[in-house]
Structure 1
C-alpha cells in the first residue's frame, strides 16, 4: 500500500464516520485533550494549529484562550462537522490539508496539537517533522499516541527521533493513549 493509498483509506474511514464520531469518541478525546492542556499554559495571543482536527473537539476547550485556532484534516466530511462547531468561535479557521504537507510557512504556530493522529499516518516521523517545521522555536507541541499502537518507550523514541524534547508523557488507565508535551530540540551549531 502506498502512502497515498493509506491516506485515502483513512480519509474514507473518517468520511463514513463523521456524523457519529463525537458520539463514539468524544469522551475518550476529551480525556486526552484535558491531559494535554493540564501540561501547558496557553497564552491569549497564541496561534494554534490542530493537526488532524477531526470534528473540532479541541475548539470547545481553548476557544477563548487563543488568538487564532487553525484546524486541518484530510477528510472533507469530518471537516463539515468541524465547520459547524467553528461557527461559534470567530477565532477558528478550518482548512482541508494533509498533515504531512501543510500550507503554512516555517515557524508559524505557538502551539501545535496532534490528538489521535499519528496512528493514521503512513510515516509518523514525516508528520512530526512537519509539525516541528510549522512551530515556532518556543512552541509547545502536544501529541498523543494510542497505546494499542505505541508502547510508552516506543512513543518516546519516535518523538526523540523527530527532534522533539519531551517534558511530560502522561499515560494512565483512563487514557487510551500516551499524551506527550514537547518542544523543539535546539539544534547544535
Structure 2
C-alpha cells in the first residue's frame, strides 16, 4: 500500500497541495479530458449527481454545465475551503466533508456519481465502489477516473510506493468485486501522455424504474 493510501497522510498532503492545486492540476487533468469524461458520463439536466473527492471543484465546475443538481464530497477541509470560495457552501453546490468508503447518504439517493482523482488515495477502493453502487439508483452511471499503471519498471516501483495506480485488468477486478456487471474503460491524458488516466464508466445493476414500467406495460 502506498504512503498516501492512508487517510490521515492524504489529508496532511492536501493541506499543503490545496494552496497550488488549481495551478498544478491542469498538467495532469485538464479541461479537454474533463469534457471527454463528461461526454462519456452522459448526465442530463435535472439529474442529481454526487462528485466524490471533489477537491477544489474542478470537476464540479464541469458537472454544473450539465445539471444544476450537483453535490460535492471530500475528506480534506483545505480542499473544500477552495471549493466553497468558488461556489459557496450550500449555494450552487451542496458540499459535505466525508469518506468515500462510508458515504453519509441513504440508498438510491443520486441519479449518477462522478469521482476523478480520488481513488488513488482510498485504502479500500472496492469498499468505496460498493458504496457508490449503494447510493446511486439502479441503472445510473458511476464514473471513476484514476491513474493508469506506468509501463516503466522504475516508475511502477515509484507509483506503488506512493499511491494506488492500476491497469485495466485491476480495474476489471475491482469493479466486478464491487458488484458491477456492466462497465467499460477509456484511457485519456494530455498530448504528452495520452494514457496517463484510466476512466471507467459503470452502470449500477438493476433496471431503471422507467424501464421496468415499460416492460410491465
Range of TM-score over shorter length: 0.7 to 0.9
**Matched residue of 1:91: which SS?**
coil
Aligned-pair RMSD on alpha carbons? 2.2
Is 2:78 the partner of 1:62? no
Is 2:35 the partner of 1:34? yes
Contact 1:33–1:115 (Cα < 8 Å) also in 2? no
Measure the CA separation in 1 of the matches of 2:201 and 2:121: 20
**Matched residue of 1:164: which SS?**
coil
**TM-score after normalising by structure 2:** 0.77
**TM-score after normalising by structure 1:** 0.88
Larger radius of gyration: 2
Measure the CA separation in 2 of the matches of 1:165 and 1:56: 30
Task: Specify every segment of 5 or more residues in structure 2 that has no aligned partner in the other structure, as ranges.
Answer: 150-164, 208-217
**Matched residue of 2:71: which SS?**
strand
Q: Which has the higher strand share?
A: 1
Runs of 4+ in 1 over 4 A off after TM superposition: none
Q: Of 150, 158, 182, which residue of structure 1 is paired with 2:202?
A: 182
Tell me which residue corresponds to 2:211: none
Tell me which residue corresponds to 2:152: none
Contact 1:18–1:78 (Cα < 8 Å) also in 2? yes
Contact 1:164–1:185 (Cα < 8 Å) also in 2? yes
Tell me: CA distance 1:88–1:72, structure 2 relative to 1, closer, same or farther (3 Å). Answer: closer
- The C-alpha deviation readout for 1:125-151, integer Å capped at 9, x for no partner, is 111111111111121100122113101
Q: Tell me by how many angstroms 1:89 deviates.
A: 9.3
**Matched residue of 1:136: which SS?**
coil
Which shifted more, 44-53 or 59-68? Answer: 59-68
Q: Tell me by how many angstroms 1:27 deviates.
A: 4.3
Is 2:173 the partner of 1:157? yes
Q: How many residues align?
A: 184
Contact 2:87–2:93 (Cα < 8 Å) also in 1? yes
Tell me: CA distance 1:76–1:89, structure 2 relative to 1, closer, same or farther (3 Å). Answer: closer
**Matched residue of 2:18: which SS?**
helix
Tell me: CA distance 1:139–1:27, structure 2 relative to 1, closer, same or farther (3 Å). Answer: farther
Measure the CA separation in 2 of the matches of 1:27 and 1:71: 23
Contact 1:71–1:95 (Cα < 8 Å) also in 2? yes
Contact 2:181–2:205 (Cα < 8 Å) also in 1? yes
**Matched residue of 1:107: which SS?**
coil
